[in-house]
Structure 1
Amino acid sequence: MTTAVQLLVFILVILSTLLVVGIPVTLASPGQWEKSKKLVYTSAGIWAGLVIITGVVNSFIA
């Protein structure tokens, strides 16, 4: 179970890094927001779901 939490946290860190870099670049690029809006919202939803899933799985360890 600990390995599952470590894997979830690793995926969360990678996705967070991609979002921290990708969202400002998307917002700063002219015309890219309209093209990438759905991808940004989907990525943010996946990130939020991953935070919740990681918390639930972690609660079974303690």
Structure 2
Amino acid sequence: MELVIQLLVFLLIVLSTILVVGIPVTLASPGQWEESKNSIYISAGLWSGLVIITGVISSFTV
């Protein structure tokens, strides 16, 4: 079970790093918001889901 939590936390860290770099670059680039809006919303939803799933699974460990 701990291996699953470690994998989820690793994925959360990787996705957070990508979003921290990617979102400001997208917003600063002219015209990129319209092209990248859907992928940013999907990534933010995936990040939120990972946070919730990691919290739920970690509550089952002792």
Map Cα deviations across residues 17-62 of structure 1 (whole Å, 9 max, x no partner): 0000000000000000000000000000000000000000000102
Give, in angstroms, the shift of residue 2 of structure 1: 0.3
Aligned-residue identity in percent:
69
Alignment RMSD = 0.4
SS in 2 for 1:61: coil
| Unpaired stretches in structure 2, ≥5 consecutive residues | none
Structure 1 unaligned regions, length at least 5: none
* Residue 26 (str. 1) matches residue 26 (str. 2): yes
TM-score of the superposed pair, with normalisation by structure 1: 0.98
Rounded Cα–Cα distance in structure 2 between residues aligned with 1:52 and 1:26: 26
TM-score by length of 2: 0.98
C-alpha distance in 2 between matches for 1:3 and 1:50: 15
Partner of 2:39: 39
Task: Tell me, in whole angstroms, the C-alpha distance in 1 between the residues paired with 2:2 and 2:42.
Answer: 28
